[in-house]
Structure 1
Amino acid sequence: MRVTTSKSKNSESFYITKSYTNAQGKSTSKTIRKLGTLAELSKRLGTDRDGVMAWAEEEARLETLKYKSEMEDAVVMIPFHSNKLMDCNRKKFFAGGYLFLQSVYYGLKMDSICTKIRSRYKFEYDLNAILSDLIYTRVLEPSSKSASFTAAKQFLEAPAYQLHDIYRALSVLAKELDFIQAEVYKNSFFLGRRNDKILYYDCTNYYFEMEQEDGCKKYGKSKEHRPNPIIQMGLFTDGDGLPLAFSLFPGNQNEQKSLKPLETKILQQFGCEKFIYCSDAGLASEDNRAFNHLGQRAFIVTQSIKKLPAEDHEWALNRNGFKRLADDSTADITQLTDEDKQGIFYKDEPYTTKKVHQRLIITYSPKYAAYQKAVRGEQVARAEKMVSSGSLKRQRKNPNDPARFVNKVSVTKAGEKADIHYYLDLDRIAEEEKYDGLYAVCTDLLDDDVADILNVSEGRWQIEDCFRTMKTEFEARPVYLSREDRIKAHFLTCFLALLHFRLLKRSLKSPCTTEQLLQILKSMNFADIEEQGFMPLYERQTITDELHEACGFRTDYQFLTKRKMKEIQKKSKRR
């Protein structure tokens, strides 16, 4: 509501008017109440024109409050006709789960990032709208870029750009990949703290539906054992599992060499200087450890016991010298009570290599030992069946293949062809039993508490969960794009989608799984009711209540007028 005036030759009148959008989509206004002429109001209020205007503005404010109160409690009556056909080509179904991701998007100031990028180019399309829709559809309905464009048309705010604009935007996003990552990291602090004192690093790869190598798409060791060209991704996450930065490199490159370039970018562009680097043994080469021993950085990495020098290897397998992690008391792990079998035991010693003076920690978990023994027991049973049936297939390189416990010997009779006999390799079984329950960690934190060090190391599962989410729920592979710049942009949108989703999940008070939250977001749809407003089509639950509370708006009323829905859309874009 606002105050308007109308002047004639002899008088000036004051009115309260209301703006609205008519059926044709045009903005107009109507008079709600006439307050009177200036002469009448000046005489009644005993003031001049400025005083009359101040009084009129207060009346407009009260009228606005009254209108809002009435609208909140209003019963909406919409007539339906059983003999009237639906309007042709009028959309009735809308997806609304993206509104919650949109709240995170604008909280990260992604629109400002797009504005900065646009200032460096001369394109006409809306980069902010394209990038936001690519992120939302990657979470809600992952598919090709063409299918994502179609899916975005189901949103309450349909795209105004064209499909060809998306492919043009991908090239720009690829060029600005490092800038976007650095800006997003800095802006993420507006949405809460970042545990960037611990950084986890790991690599994975993604396959392409093609048979020939091309560019960075090279034949390499696929994580999924596929005979397709692959591209590799190195990913940093913080201590809470929130994505921090990523890089791409050829499928045939040694993944250990991917660490330094990406970590250097983090040091230079992100402003992170003091942190603990944590990775598995595959990314814990001597060079990587030495690199993270510089400056204010430190490392905690997994160590392969089998690859230790002979003296340290013997010490690691020795069952003596262990302590209880709970109280540092001496313990004999060969004589444990039922209560002790629930705990963790450790021993440590200095471990010096050519480049770094380290600390080697060996842990023993009775529960993990029992698990490994049970798994191997099933594999041995399968190996025995192979031997007895004589149906031994060619042994695979998989370390969990039961065929590894089967050996063979050739028996030659005089003048006859050699016969091959298979037998169960008991020595191999006994050798594997030596490592049951044992786990090794190396670190240059020589004086820190062992429990704290192990707690950091155990957090590596979070980065594995990031890869699983991107590959499974977000369907980041197989990759169907061919141009390398567009491939980079594809993985950028996957990375940003993962960050948005994880930040949204963190904002909830109650714990929930990735699958549960995705199911809720995908179900939050609305039906258009005779162009009068929208009716929610989802089930209200605890998670939906927490989503609304975290994002600062509600969509779970029985009926939402068009005006109310526009207010919700505006609120989802507030920082």
Structure 2
Amino acid sequence: MGGEGVYLKKDKRPNGRVYLSIVKSYRDPVTKRGKQKAVKGLGFYDELIHVYDDPIAHFSEVAKQMTEEEMTDRQVVLTLDLEERLDPGASDLKNIGFLALSKIYHELGMDTFFIHRERGLKNKLPLNNIMKLLVYERILNPCSKLAAYENRHRYFENFDFPLEAVYRSLPVFSKHREKLLLALHENISMLYGRDTSNVFYDVTNYYFHRDQETEMIRKGMGKDRKGKPIIQMGLLLDKAGIPITYRLFQGNMPDFDTLLPVLSELKQHYNLQRVIVVADKGLNSGTNKAYNLIKGDGYIFSRSVRGTKASKEVKAYVLDERGYRWVGDEYKIKSRVYPTEITVKDEQDKPVKVMIDEKHIVFYSEKYARRTKHKRDEAISKALGLINSPSRYAKAENYGAMKYIIGMNLDKKTGELTQANQNIIPKLDEALIREEEKYDGYYSIVTSELDMPEDEVIEKYKGLWKIEETFKISKTQLETRPAYVWSEGGIEGHFLTCFLSLLLLRILEMKTHGKYSIEKIIDALTQSNVAYLSMNYYKALYYSDVLKWTDACIGTQLDQKYLTLEEIKHMVSETKEKV
């Protein structure tokens, strides 16, 4: 136990007499220094010599037996000082839920990767321990880098490094990003048999705390805080929904321009064979289609069936009842191989029109129709509120409702609503509403996979919800936004820690067979804490069905009510053992 345990203490007094006592040694959880607590006073040696032939040998053996009994009987009597007071800022609460994350972190070899990089640094940085702290905190207590550093004592890990080291490590993480992601890909493929026959891709953006723009941080069509500088992230998932890689792009770059760089990187660095890219309509462009076909890959993209983005011919095909087959009572589907004209750029960067054959699948769902109508009704209700009382609505709430109003203008700079013409009273655009209602419940997909059955194409496309959920997790549970770092290296380092946090959570979800949502898993691990009692003894405060299932699936033991510091350290050590 590293000097901890029960032993005989010989205390020489000023008058020369030696007092014997049995004491228990332990390490103070705050100061990290060794301390002692008296278990039993025995008396002075010169008096005990008349009772025992060898008091030192006798009571040393008693102390040894007490230690053995303590270990075998698993029963301990603790003495608590009811007069003891807490120092300001002191906390006797520590998290042990991180053990589940530590298990996967080390299983994937992240520790080995960073430790090897540490050795080549002139300015010594504990990269491995810093990354562990940032990832654990991002998952269990998402906060700033400063707050994460201040919480470092919540874990049974060696996080004794200066705050400056955290900020200095971010650009170093960025430097090793590509090699790390490739190493993780290889380890995941080896451990879990990664399937990349079809991959899911999407783009989202994250806004920043400050308003200044940089080369990367630009004002664009942000989905979160319109008007705030943003950065784009393109994320690629494998067939099981496990993140593969990501790329950051300028905030004002169109979504469809981000796919090719990520896909090129994927094919080049990850030595993949033919892949089918599954993406939303924001990525549906002629250039993306042409690229996939030229490279021998495939695509499954959604396409618009309403508004100006859908041709009259496509709209007519969607609403034509001929060719549909019903699957059950609420679902119908039809498809055709359809010659499609796409626009690509030639070697001189000039647009050229090319004809390709692609499969066009249309399906209708009653459930989707009800959901679409509900969302539109909410927007219409907001539109009526804007008409009746324009000043009550904030700028961020106007988007989506304005398109249903005739006779009202929105100033994009100020967010103010004004009447477009004094002679025209603002009103709902009933014609637009009726037109949209025609297409409620219809969804359209186009694919290069001409021979793939309709149901299989749809099933692959449905997998896109995994990436949408992943982005939701990153923005809610992991609170990736708003970003506070500003330098290019700091930004890349920040998003790498967020990506690795997503990766750990997705693998943990996979290893626990998806029985519980990531939100519930995070909540359970966050509540899995122990409180310090006395003399290196701790009491666990929380256990749940989620933790019980996690224990069963990945081999942690978070159910023990009372734990010694030695036992906790052993549990931490076990999570670092390689498979």
Q: TM-score, normalised by structure 1?
A: 0.78
What is the match of residue 31 of structure 1? none
| Number of residue pairs the alignment of both structures matches | 493
What is the correspondence of 1:15-164 to structure 2 with a 5 Å cutoff?
A: 23=26, 71=71, 73-83=73-83, 92-164=92-164
Tell me if the contact between 2:236 and 2:245 (Cα under 8 Å) persists in the aligned partners. Answer: yes
After superposition, the C-alpha distances for 1:228-265 in whole angstroms (9 at most, x for unaligned) are 11111111111222111111111112222211111111
Tell me if the contact between 1:345 and 1:365 (Cα under 8 Å) persists in the aligned partners. Answer: no
Tell me if the contact between 1:359 and 1:445 (Cα under 8 Å) persists in the aligned partners. Answer: yes
What is the match of residue 549 of structure 1? 552
Check 1:312–1:92 CA distance in 2 against 1; reply closer, same or farther (3 A cut): closer
Alignment identity in percent? 28
After superposition, the C-alpha distances for 1:387-437 in whole angstroms (9 at most, x for unaligned) are 7x596999989997444344359xxxxxxx972234543322222122121
> d(CA) in 1 for partners of 2:212 and 2:301?
36
Check 1:262–1:162 CA distance in 2 against 1; reply closer, same or farther (3 A cut): same
Q: Does 1:475 align with 2:479?
A: yes
What is the correspondence of 1:292-441 to structure 2 with a 5 Å cutoff?
A: 292-306=292-306, 307-324=309-326, 326=327, 340=329, 342-353=330-341, 354=354, 356-377=356-377, 379-380=379-380, 401-408=400-407, 419-441=423-445
What is the correspondence of 1:197-208 to structure 2 with a 5 Å cutoff?
A: 197-208=197-208
Tell me if the contact between 2:358 and 2:447 (Cα under 8 Å) persists in the aligned partners. Answer: yes
> d(CA) in 2 for partners of 1:91 and 1:366?
54
What is the match of residue 577 of structure 2? 574
Check 1:121–1:345 CA distance in 2 against 1; reply closer, same or farther (3 A cut): same
What is the match of residue 559 of structure 1? 562
Task: Kindly state the Cα deviation for residue 169 of structure 1 after the two structures are TM-superposed.
Answer: 1.1
Check 1:191–1:71 CA distance in 2 against 1; reply closer, same or farther (3 A cut): farther
Give 1:505's aligned amino acid. Answer: E
What is the match of residue 283 of structure 2? 283
What is the match of residue 332 of structure 1? none
- Give the unaligned 5+ runs of structure 1: 2-20, 27-66, 327-338, 410-416
Q: TM-score, normalised by structure 2?
A: 0.78
Tell me if the contact between 2:25 and 2:535 (Cα under 8 Å) persists in the aligned partners. Answer: no
Give 2:438's aligned amino acid. Answer: K
Check 1:302–1:73 CA distance in 2 against 1; reply closer, same or farther (3 A cut): farther
Tell me if the contact between 1:141 and 1:151 (Cα under 8 Å) persists in the aligned partners. Answer: no
Tell me if the contact between 1:281 and 1:303 (Cα under 8 Å) persists in the aligned partners. Answer: yes
Check 1:563–1:385 CA distance in 2 against 1; reply closer, same or farther (3 A cut): closer
> d(CA) in 2 for partners of 1:86 and 1:291?
65
Tell me if the contact between 1:108 and 1:190 (Cα under 8 Å) persists in the aligned partners. Answer: no
> d(CA) in 2 for partners of 1:457 and 1:521?
32
After superposition, the C-alpha distances for 1:287-339 in whole angstroms (9 at most, x for unaligned) are 11121224442111101224344433422332322112x4xxxxxxxxxxxx6
Q: Secondary structure at the match of 1:210?
A: coil
Give 2:506's aligned amino acid. Answer: R
Check 1:355–1:138 CA distance in 2 against 1; reply closer, same or farther (3 A cut): farther
Q: Does 1:507 align with 2:511?
A: yes
Q: Does 1:446 align with 2:445?
A: no
Q: Secondary structure at the match of 1:439?
A: strand
Check 1:118–1:546 CA distance in 2 against 1; reply closer, same or farther (3 A cut): same
Tell me if the contact between 1:344 and 1:365 (Cα under 8 Å) persists in the aligned partners. Answer: yes
After superposition, the C-alpha distances for 1:193-223 in whole angstroms (9 at most, x for unaligned) are 3232221111111111222212211111111
Q: Secondary structure at the match of 2:227?
A: coil
Tell me if the contact between 1:286 and 1:355 (Cα under 8 Å) persists in the aligned partners. Answer: no
What is the match of residue 235 of structure 2? 235
The range that moved more, 434-443 or 528-537, is 528-537
Task: Kindly state the Cα deviation for residue 380 of structure 1 after the two structures are TM-superposed.
Answer: 5.0
Q: Secondary structure at the match of 2:293?
A: coil
What is the match of residue 530 of structure 2? 526
After superposition, the C-alpha distances for 1:458-484 in whole angstroms (9 at most, x for unaligned) are 111111111111111111111111111
> d(CA) in 2 for partners of 1:569 and 1:407?
64
What is the match of residue 53 of structure 2? none
Check 1:291–1:529 CA distance in 2 against 1; reply closer, same or farther (3 A cut): same
> d(CA) in 1 for partners of 2:218 and 2:496?
20
Q: Does 1:465 align with 2:464?
A: no
The range that moved more, 484-493 or 303-312, is 303-312
Check 1:223–1:72 CA distance in 2 against 1; reply closer, same or farther (3 A cut): farther
Aligned residues: CA RMSD? 3.1
Check 1:404–1:250 CA distance in 2 against 1; reply closer, same or farther (3 A cut): closer
The range that moved more, 479-488 or 210-219, is 210-219
> d(CA) in 2 for partners of 1:421 and 1:90?
64
> d(CA) in 2 for partners of 1:486 and 1:459?
32
Q: Secondary structure at the match of 1:352?
A: strand
> d(CA) in 2 for partners of 1:304 and 1:510?
32
Check 1:502–1:293 CA distance in 2 against 1; reply closer, same or farther (3 A cut): same
Q: Secondary structure at the match of 2:425?
A: strand
What is the match of residue 344 of structure 2? none
Check 1:378–1:558 CA distance in 2 against 1; reply closer, same or farther (3 A cut): closer
Moved segments of 4+, more than 6 Å:
67-70, 86-90, 384-387, 390-400
Tell me if the contact between 2:226 and 2:396 (Cα under 8 Å) persists in the aligned partners. Answer: no
The range that moved more, 348-357 or 450-459, is 348-357
Tell me if the contact between 1:395 and 1:403 (Cα under 8 Å) persists in the aligned partners. Answer: no
> d(CA) in 2 for partners of 1:477 and 1:235?
16
